Protein backbone atom coordinates (compact mmCIF):
# COMPACT_ATOMS: atom_id res chain seq x y z
CA UNK A 1 0.00 0.00 0.00
CA UNK A 2 1.27 3.49 -0.86
CA UNK A 3 0.87 6.57 1.25
CA UNK A 4 -2.83 7.34 0.84
CA UNK A 5 -2.64 11.07 1.59
CA UNK A 6 -0.27 12.01 -1.22
CA UNK A 7 -1.91 12.32 -4.65
CA UNK A 8 0.10 10.98 -7.58
CA UNK A 9 2.16 13.69 -9.28
CA UNK A 10 1.52 13.08 -12.96
CA UNK A 11 -2.28 13.54 -13.20
CA UNK A 12 -2.09 16.52 -10.87
CA UNK A 13 0.42 18.15 -13.22
CA UNK A 14 -1.81 17.59 -16.25
CA UNK A 15 -4.83 18.82 -14.31
CA UNK A 16 -2.99 22.01 -13.41
CA UNK A 17 -2.25 22.72 -17.06
CA UNK A 18 -5.92 22.05 -17.81
CA UNK A 19 -7.08 24.46 -15.15
CA UNK A 20 -4.61 27.11 -16.37
CA UNK A 21 -6.15 26.86 -19.81
CA UNK A 22 -9.28 28.34 -18.24
CA UNK A 23 -7.63 30.67 -15.75
CA UNK A 24 -4.99 32.36 -17.94
CA UNK A 25 -7.32 34.02 -20.46
CA UNK A 26 -9.42 35.42 -17.63
CA UNK A 27 -6.30 36.72 -15.93
CA UNK A 28 -5.24 38.33 -19.20
CA UNK A 29 -8.59 40.04 -19.55
CA UNK A 30 -8.46 41.42 -16.03
CA UNK A 31 -4.79 42.42 -16.45
CA UNK A 32 -5.35 44.39 -19.62
CA UNK A 33 -8.61 45.98 -18.54
CA UNK A 34 -8.42 49.80 -18.69
CA UNK A 35 -9.80 50.22 -15.18
CA UNK A 36 -9.32 53.99 -15.03
CA UNK A 37 -11.37 54.69 -18.14
CA UNK A 38 -13.82 51.80 -17.73
CA UNK A 39 -16.73 53.98 -16.68
CA UNK A 40 -16.27 56.37 -19.60
CA UNK A 41 -16.06 53.48 -22.05
CA UNK A 42 -19.35 52.13 -20.75
CA UNK A 43 -21.02 55.50 -21.15
CA UNK A 44 -19.88 56.05 -24.73
CA UNK A 45 -22.72 56.15 -27.26
CA UNK A 46 -22.09 52.97 -29.25
CA UNK A 47 -21.37 50.95 -26.06
CA UNK A 48 -24.60 52.15 -24.45
CA UNK A 49 -26.49 51.30 -27.61
CA UNK A 50 -25.03 47.81 -27.57
CA UNK A 51 -25.81 47.33 -23.86
CA UNK A 52 -29.37 48.54 -24.26
CA UNK A 53 -29.94 46.49 -27.39
CA UNK A 54 -28.47 43.33 -25.86
CA UNK A 55 -30.69 43.68 -22.82
CA UNK A 56 -33.74 44.22 -25.01
CA UNK A 57 -33.07 41.38 -27.44
CA UNK A 58 -31.91 38.82 -24.89
CA UNK A 59 -34.92 39.46 -22.65
CA UNK A 60 -37.29 39.35 -25.62
CA UNK A 61 -35.70 36.11 -26.81
CA UNK A 62 -36.08 34.67 -23.32
CA UNK A 63 -39.72 35.75 -23.29
CA UNK A 64 -40.35 34.01 -26.60
CA UNK A 65 -38.50 30.94 -25.36
CA UNK A 66 -40.73 30.84 -22.27
CA UNK A 67 -43.96 31.34 -24.19
CA UNK A 68 -43.11 28.60 -26.69
CA UNK A 69 -40.72 26.47 -24.69
CA UNK A 70 -42.85 25.74 -21.61
CA UNK A 71 -45.68 24.16 -23.64
CA UNK A 72 -43.14 22.43 -25.87
CA UNK A 73 -41.31 20.93 -22.90
CA UNK A 74 -44.61 19.84 -21.37
CA UNK A 75 -45.78 18.14 -24.56
CA UNK A 76 -42.41 16.44 -25.00
CA UNK A 77 -42.51 15.15 -21.43
CA UNK A 78 -46.17 14.17 -21.20
CA UNK A 79 -47.65 13.43 -24.61
CA UNK A 80 -46.84 10.37 -26.67
CA UNK A 81 -47.01 10.94 -30.40
CA UNK A 82 -45.23 9.59 -33.45
CA UNK A 83 -42.18 11.61 -34.39
CA UNK A 84 -41.49 12.70 -30.84
CA UNK A 85 -37.84 11.67 -31.05
CA UNK A 86 -37.44 13.64 -34.24
CA UNK A 87 -38.87 16.72 -32.56
CA UNK A 88 -36.53 16.24 -29.63
CA UNK A 89 -33.56 15.98 -31.98
CA UNK A 90 -34.65 19.12 -33.81
CA UNK A 91 -35.13 21.14 -30.64
CA UNK A 92 -31.76 20.00 -29.30
CA UNK A 93 -29.88 20.63 -32.52
CA UNK A 94 -29.17 24.35 -31.97
CA UNK A 95 -27.11 23.41 -28.91
CA UNK A 96 -24.56 21.58 -31.04
CA UNK A 97 -25.05 23.31 -34.37
CA UNK A 98 -22.42 25.97 -35.18
CA UNK A 99 -24.38 29.20 -34.59
CA UNK A 100 -23.28 30.60 -37.94
CA UNK A 101 -24.98 27.63 -39.64
CA UNK A 102 -28.09 28.46 -37.65
CA UNK A 103 -27.84 32.00 -38.98
CA UNK A 104 -27.53 30.79 -42.56
CA UNK A 105 -30.51 28.49 -42.08
CA UNK A 106 -32.59 31.29 -40.61
CA UNK A 107 -31.64 33.53 -43.50
CA UNK A 108 -32.65 30.92 -46.07
CA UNK A 109 -35.98 30.26 -44.32
CA UNK A 110 -36.94 33.69 -43.04
CA UNK A 111 -34.91 35.90 -45.36
CA UNK A 112 -36.65 38.06 -47.88
CA UNK A 113 -36.42 35.36 -50.52
CA UNK A 114 -36.75 32.47 -48.05
CA UNK A 115 -39.64 30.01 -47.98
CA UNK A 116 -41.39 31.61 -45.04
CA UNK A 117 -39.73 35.01 -45.35
CA UNK A 118 -41.15 35.71 -48.80
CA UNK A 119 -44.65 35.19 -47.42
CA UNK A 120 -43.91 37.40 -44.40
CA UNK A 121 -42.56 40.02 -46.78
CA UNK A 122 -45.94 40.21 -48.51
CA UNK A 123 -47.64 41.25 -45.27
CA UNK A 124 -44.88 43.74 -44.57
CA UNK A 125 -42.99 41.67 -41.99
CA UNK A 126 -39.28 41.76 -42.43
CA UNK A 127 -36.92 39.96 -40.08
CA UNK A 128 -33.37 39.96 -41.47
CA UNK A 129 -31.25 42.92 -40.44
CA UNK A 130 -33.83 44.11 -37.93
CA UNK A 131 -33.90 44.02 -34.14
CA UNK A 132 -36.71 41.47 -34.35
CA UNK A 133 -34.38 39.34 -36.45
CA UNK A 134 -31.73 39.49 -33.75
CA UNK A 135 -34.35 38.36 -31.23
CA UNK A 136 -35.33 35.41 -33.45
CA UNK A 137 -31.69 34.40 -33.90
CA UNK A 138 -31.09 34.50 -30.15
CA UNK A 139 -34.28 32.57 -29.39
CA UNK A 140 -33.32 29.94 -31.96
CA UNK A 141 -29.99 29.33 -30.28
CA UNK A 142 -31.01 29.75 -26.64
CA UNK A 143 -34.42 28.07 -26.36
CA UNK A 144 -33.06 24.48 -26.24
CA UNK A 145 -31.45 25.25 -22.87
CA UNK A 146 -34.86 26.05 -21.42
CA UNK A 147 -36.72 23.23 -23.15
CA UNK A 148 -34.30 20.48 -22.20
CA UNK A 149 -34.00 21.60 -18.57
CA UNK A 150 -37.75 21.90 -18.19
CA UNK A 151 -38.60 18.70 -20.03
CA UNK A 152 -36.41 16.70 -17.67
CA UNK A 153 -38.15 18.36 -14.72
CA UNK A 154 -41.65 17.65 -16.07
CA UNK A 155 -40.61 14.08 -16.69
CA UNK A 156 -39.33 13.49 -13.18
CA UNK A 157 -42.01 15.33 -11.21
CA UNK A 158 -44.51 13.14 -9.36
CA UNK A 159 -47.65 12.95 -11.47
CA UNK A 160 -49.62 11.46 -8.61
CA UNK A 161 -49.59 14.95 -7.08
CA UNK A 162 -51.50 16.11 -10.14
CA UNK A 163 -54.02 13.32 -9.59
CA UNK A 164 -54.37 14.48 -5.99
CA UNK A 165 -55.01 18.03 -7.18
CA UNK A 166 -57.69 16.86 -9.59
CA UNK A 167 -59.56 15.01 -6.85
CA UNK A 168 -59.44 18.29 -4.94
CA UNK A 169 -61.43 20.04 -7.63
CA UNK A 170 -58.67 21.43 -9.83
CA UNK A 171 -59.22 21.32 -13.59
CA UNK A 172 -56.33 20.66 -15.93
CA UNK A 173 -55.22 24.26 -16.20
CA UNK A 174 -55.46 24.88 -12.45
CA UNK A 175 -53.44 21.73 -11.86
CA UNK A 176 -50.78 23.01 -14.22
CA UNK A 177 -50.70 26.46 -12.67
CA UNK A 178 -50.90 25.51 -9.02
CA UNK A 179 -49.12 22.15 -8.89
CA UNK A 180 -47.15 21.21 -12.00
CA UNK A 181 -45.45 24.55 -12.55
CA UNK A 182 -44.55 25.25 -8.90
CA UNK A 183 -43.06 21.75 -8.64
CA UNK A 184 -40.70 22.44 -11.54
CA UNK A 185 -40.01 26.03 -10.46
CA UNK A 186 -36.31 25.45 -9.66
CA UNK A 187 -35.75 23.97 -13.11
CA UNK A 188 -37.86 26.66 -14.73
CA UNK A 189 -35.71 29.35 -13.15
CA UNK A 190 -32.46 27.58 -13.97
CA UNK A 191 -33.55 26.95 -17.56
CA UNK A 192 -34.66 30.55 -17.98
CA UNK A 193 -31.40 31.93 -16.67
CA UNK A 194 -29.36 29.59 -18.86
CA UNK A 195 -31.46 30.52 -21.85
CA UNK A 196 -31.03 34.22 -21.15
CA UNK A 197 -27.27 33.89 -20.66
CA UNK A 198 -26.97 32.04 -23.95
CA UNK A 199 -29.11 34.66 -25.73
CA UNK A 200 -27.00 37.45 -24.30
CA UNK A 201 -23.81 35.91 -25.59
CA UNK A 202 -25.17 34.98 -29.02
CA UNK A 203 -22.85 36.01 -31.86
CA UNK A 204 -22.76 33.76 -34.92
CA UNK A 205 -26.43 33.38 -35.75
CA UNK A 206 -27.13 37.04 -34.97
CA UNK A 207 -24.42 38.50 -37.19
CA UNK A 208 -25.35 36.13 -40.03
CA UNK A 209 -29.09 36.61 -39.90
CA UNK A 210 -29.47 40.10 -38.47
CA UNK A 211 -26.24 41.78 -39.47
CA UNK A 212 -24.25 44.32 -37.50
CA UNK A 213 -26.07 47.64 -37.42
CA UNK A 214 -25.33 49.88 -34.49
CA UNK A 215 -28.42 50.49 -32.41
CA UNK A 216 -30.47 47.95 -34.38
CA UNK A 217 -28.68 44.61 -34.39
CA UNK A 218 -25.24 45.30 -32.95
CA UNK A 219 -25.50 43.46 -29.63
CA UNK A 220 -22.73 43.31 -27.04
CA UNK A 221 -20.77 40.39 -28.51
CA UNK A 222 -20.87 41.96 -31.98
CA UNK A 223 -19.74 45.28 -30.56
CA UNK A 224 -16.85 43.61 -28.74
CA UNK A 225 -15.72 41.79 -31.86
CA UNK A 226 -15.89 44.83 -34.14
CA UNK A 227 -14.28 47.26 -31.71
CA UNK A 228 -11.46 44.92 -30.76
CA UNK A 229 -10.47 44.70 -34.44
CA UNK A 230 -10.91 48.38 -35.05
CA UNK A 231 -11.20 51.72 -33.43
CA UNK A 232 -11.71 50.98 -29.76
CA UNK A 233 -10.06 47.91 -28.19
CA UNK A 234 -10.51 49.38 -24.69
CA UNK A 235 -14.26 49.56 -25.15
CA UNK A 236 -14.23 45.93 -26.29
CA UNK A 237 -12.35 44.87 -23.19
CA UNK A 238 -14.66 46.73 -20.83
CA UNK A 239 -17.77 45.22 -22.37
CA UNK A 240 -16.12 41.80 -22.28
CA UNK A 241 -15.77 42.35 -18.56
CA UNK A 242 -19.47 43.15 -18.35
CA UNK A 243 -20.30 39.87 -20.05
CA UNK A 244 -17.86 38.07 -17.78
CA UNK A 245 -19.54 39.51 -14.69
CA UNK A 246 -22.96 38.41 -15.98
CA UNK A 247 -21.65 34.91 -16.59
CA UNK A 248 -20.18 34.75 -13.11
CA UNK A 249 -23.45 35.97 -11.64
CA UNK A 250 -25.33 33.23 -13.49
CA UNK A 251 -22.84 30.67 -12.26
CA UNK A 252 -23.13 31.81 -8.67
CA UNK A 253 -26.90 32.01 -8.94
CA UNK A 254 -27.09 28.42 -10.13
CA UNK A 255 -24.33 27.15 -7.88
CA UNK A 256 -26.70 24.87 -5.99
CA UNK A 257 -27.24 22.96 -9.21
CA UNK A 258 -23.65 22.52 -10.34
CA UNK A 259 -21.00 23.77 -8.02
CA UNK A 260 -22.08 21.81 -4.98
CA UNK A 261 -21.79 18.48 -6.76
CA UNK A 262 -18.90 16.66 -5.18
Partner 1 sequence: MTLSAAVRVDVTGFTLDVALEIDAGQTTAVVGPNGAGKTTLLRALAGLRALSSGRIDLDGSVLDEPETGTYVPPERRPVGVVFQDNLLFPHLDALDNVAFGLRTRRHRRRDARRLAVDWLDRVGLAGRGHARPSELSGGQAQRIALARALAPKPALLLLDEPLAALDATTRNDVRRDLRHHLATFSGVRLLITHDPVDAAVLADNIIVLDNGRIAQTGTPAEITARPRTRWVAELVGTNLLAGAANRDGIIRLDAGGTLIVADPLPMGAVFAVVHPRAVTLHRERPEGSARNTWRGHIATVEPVGDRYRIHVDAAPPVVAEVTTTAVRDLGLAEAAAVWITAKATEIDVYPA
Which of 172/255 has CB closer to partner 1?
Answer: 172
Which of 183/193 has CB closer to partner 1?
Answer: 183
230 binds partner 1 (CB under 8 A): no
Q: Decide: residue 252, CB within 10 A, 0-12 exposed, 13-18 middle, 19+ buried.
A: exposed
Which residues neighbour 228 within 8 Å (Cβ) at sequence distance 6 or greater?
236, 237
Query: Taking the complex as a whole, how short is the minimal distance between the CB of residue 238 and partner 1, in angstroms?
Result: 42
256 binds partner 1 (CB under 8 A): no
**Site size for partner 1 (CB under 8 A):** 18
Q: Which helix (H) or strand (E) holds 87?
A: helix 84-96
Query: Taking the complex as a whole, how short is the minimal distance between the CB of residue 184 and partner 1, in angstroms?
Result: 10
Apex CA 140: angle with CA 186 and CA 138, to 5°? 85
Closest-CA residue to 235 (of 246, 245, 247, 222):
222
Q: Decide: residue 239, CB within 10 A, 0-12 exposed, 13-18 middle, 19+ buried.
A: buried
Which of 153/242 has CB closer to partner 1?
Answer: 153
Which of 71/182 has CB closer to partner 1?
Answer: 182
Which residues, numbered 115-174, are part of the site for partner 1 (CB under 8 A)?
Answer: 158, 160-161, 163-171, 174
147, 179, 222, 242: residue in contact with partner 1 (rule CB under 8 A): 179
Query: Taking the complex as a whole, how short is the minimal distance between the CB of residue 165 and partner 1, in angstroms?
Result: 7
Query: Taking the complex as a whole, how short is the minimal distance between the CB of residue 170 and partner 1, in angstroms?
Result: 5
- Cβ proximity of 180 and 78 under 8 Å: no
Q: Give the Cα separation of 246 and 251 in Å (integer).
A: 9
Give the footprint of partner 1 on this chain (CB under 8 A): 158, 160-161, 163-171, 174, 178-179, 182-183, 185
Amino acid sequence: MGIPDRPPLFPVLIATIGALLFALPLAGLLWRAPWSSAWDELRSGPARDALRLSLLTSLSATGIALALGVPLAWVQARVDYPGKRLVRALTTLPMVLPPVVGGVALLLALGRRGIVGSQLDKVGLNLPFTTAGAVVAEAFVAMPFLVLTLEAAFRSSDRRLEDAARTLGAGRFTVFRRVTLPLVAPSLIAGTVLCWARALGEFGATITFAGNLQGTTQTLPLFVYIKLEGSNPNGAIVLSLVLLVVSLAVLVGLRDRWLTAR
